[in-house]
Amino acid sequence: MRKFCFCLVSVFLLFSFYFPNTVAAFIPFMEETETQTESPTTKPYAKLSLRKEPKKMLGEKAVRTMLKKHDFYDRWWNPNGSFDNDFVDDGDGTVTDRATGLMWQKDGSPKPLTLKRSTYYISSLNDKRFMGYSDWRMPTVEELASLIRGNVKRGLHINPLFTTKRKPCWSSDRGYVEDRYMKDVWIVSFVEGRIVLQMMDNDPRMIFGYPDTYYVRGVRSTR
């Protein structure tokens, strides 16, 4: 084996002596080939971090800015929005969006609820450890907005992985408009494909008892 290696080295040295230009041209080719065969480094999947803490005073201007910033679709305020979700059907009643790192209920509350009742519903999910988790919450309008899609499927502006019954959904964010008592709540209508500020009665006695009923879809963070 040593004699064979010695012979190869000797042949290469003689060849380089008589044909130096050929060897010089061959060496960069070998270096380039070696570089190309190296394993490429892969970048980690980038997730969009969305606000999960509810706000008590979220104005229309802030909502419009949020839609533009994340390129979320809204039929009135951002009709050209086209956010790329990366949904995965978990096969257990939940859908995970790898683009935002959020896990959603595929279904939601079995019927429309008042805002107060919707908080009880979320608490029941955690008490029962729905799908093995106890950190479910009511989504912010920012999180709900990430689900709105421009093209309509089955009459709804939402991915077909989700059920068709939960059309308007509560958010955890309170809103306001000028000259109104701060009791309004942001909801998302998947029928209209837009975010709506639901104006409530100004009667102070109704501050904890919003009469309107909508669905609620629980969400949790996967990271």
pLDDT at 210: 56
pLDDT at 200: 66
Say if residue 199 is exposed, middle or buried (CB neighbours under 10 Å; 0-12, 13-18, 19+).
middle
- Output 75-83 pairs: Cβ under 8 A, ≥24 positions apart: 75/157, 75/192, 75/193, 75/194, 76/194, 77/194, 77/195, 79/150, 81/150, 82/150, 83/146
Interatomic CA distance for residues 190 and 72, integer angstroms: 13
Characterize the bridge pairing of strands 168-176 and 58-59.
parallel
Q: Which domain, by its residues, includes 123?
A: 58-221
For the stretch 116-158, pLDDT in tens is 899 999 999 999 999 999 999 999 999 999 999 998 888 899 9
How many Å is the Cα radius of gyration of the chain? Answer: 29
Q: Return the top range by mean pLDDT from 30-44, 101-115, 179-193.
A: 101-115
Is the residue at 145 inside a domain? yes
Residue 96 phi, psi dihedral angles, 5° rounding: -105, 135
94 lies in the same domain as 19:
no
pTM of the model: 0.75
Interatomic CA distance for residues 187 and 167, integer angstroms: 10
6 lies in the same domain as 88:
no
pLDDT at 67: 98
Interatomic CA distance for residues 14 and 32, integer angstroms: 24
32 lies in the same domain as 69:
no
pLDDT at 47: 82
12 lies in the same domain as 71:
no
7 lies in the same domain as 108:
no
Number of domains in the chain: 2
11 lies in the same domain as 114:
no
Encoded tokens for 59: 């104005």
Say if residue 106 is exposed, middle or buried (CB neighbours under 10 Å; 0-12, 13-18, 19+).
middle
99 lies in the same domain as 21:
no
pLDDT at 168: 92
21 lies in the same domain as 63:
no
Residue 28 predicted with pLDDT over 50: no
pLDDT at 208: 46
For the stretch 153-212, pLDDT in tens is 888 999 999 998 778 999 999 987 655 555 689 999 999 999 999 876 554 444 445 568
